Every structure is written in C-alpha cells, then in structure tokens.
Amino acid sequence: MPGERLNLEQAAAFLGMEPLELSKRVRQGEAPFSGNVDNPIFEKDEIDAWASSRILEMNERRLSKYEQGAVGKKENEGPFRLERLVSPERVFLQVDARTKSSMLAELVNCADSLGLLYDPHDLLESLRAREDLCSTALPGGFAIPHPRHHDPYLAQESFLIVALPTVPIHFGAQDGKPSDLFFLLVCQEDRQHLRALARLCSMLLNPNLAAALRAAEDPSAICSLLI
C-alpha cells in the first residue's frame, strides 16, 4: 500500500535483489531512498516505480536473471504465466485512439467495459501519474502502461488488456518511433506486478512473437500466442 516504508533488507527482498546490489544502487544515486546511504529507508511505492522502470530497460540476459530470482516466486517455479491475466475477451482490435492521452483513456474504457474496474477515473489518474515518471513505451513498437500504485481497490482482479490502435501512436519510446501494440497491466499486488511485467518484457524481446502478434487476425490468436 502507498506509504509503507522498508529497510534495505526488506526492499531488496521485495525487488528480488541482493541487499549488496541495492546498496550499490543507493550509493550510485540510482534507487530512491531517504535517510543516509548507510541506513537507507525506502518508500514502497517509490521503489516499486523505480523497479518497474528498471525492468522496462533490461535486456534479455538481465530479464532472465531477474526472473530467476524474482521475489514471490516459489522454489523451482518457472516464469510467471500470463494465462492468469489475459483471455480473448481482453484483446481489443482497431482501438480508435490517435494520441497518448486518448489511448490511455481507451485502455481504461476497454477494462471498464468488461466490468473489471471499481473506479475508471482512479485507474486513469494512476496511469497518467505513472507516465509522468517516464514513458512505458519500449523500442520495437510496444507500450506497457500500468498504474502508479498496485492495490486491490483499482480493479476486481488482476488483468492484462491487449489493444491494437487503428494507427500507431507516439507514446514516448526512446527510439522515437510510435507504438502499435499496447498491454495494459493492472495487478492488485506489487510482487505480482513486477513478475508479470518482467515476463511480458522478456517475451516481447522475441522478434518472432512480435511479428506473429501483429499478423494475428483475431483476439483468440493473439491470446494463444501470449499464453
């Protein structure tokens, strides 16, 4: 929940990192903290947002390493499976949006049309707040919008909405190119969010999957590819 504070060991466990690695990030000025570098205190929502941004920037090798040590993962458990979050009715083709702002609104509308949300306005505001930190768009034409905070009060359950707009949208990717595949990721719990985000990013690095998603003709085909 927003406002929860963690010490170094607690934050490292939450992030699936070794305390020494997180301490190094603190001393390098990368990880957000308060107090002094020898005894840092972390706001859970701030460190979660930092971790999300970090996952979006990881290459395939680092994503694989992160998934192997991801927090919340049971012993000998494989990568997070998206079948827990996505289904054909959660895939939307030809979404009528042409700007970043309108795409965020349409993604929320898609989720709300399925009865997944308690308050669409709250989710939209949280998505905007997350985008204000840095864009969730990735090189290669993907974007993975997700809320600033993860709690059980945004949605009735965790879910993944897949949406393809009628035209590619400039969403802030570092390569300067527009996005044409959007994945709205909403999780009720922080650990689930980080695992799902890492799995999705890892999958999207596969160029064969990306091409197949764009060539798919119906929601069932897209859902099957992701699962």
Could you list the active site residues? 146
Angle at 65 between CA 171 and CA 179, to 5 degrees: 15
DSSP for 111-162, written as a single string: HHHTT-BS-HHHHHHHHHHHHHHS--EETTTEE----SS--TTTBSS-EEEE
Distance separating alpha carbons of residues 6 and 40, to the nearest angstrom: 9
Q: CA torsion angle for 176, 141, 169, 52 (degrees, to 10)?
A: -80
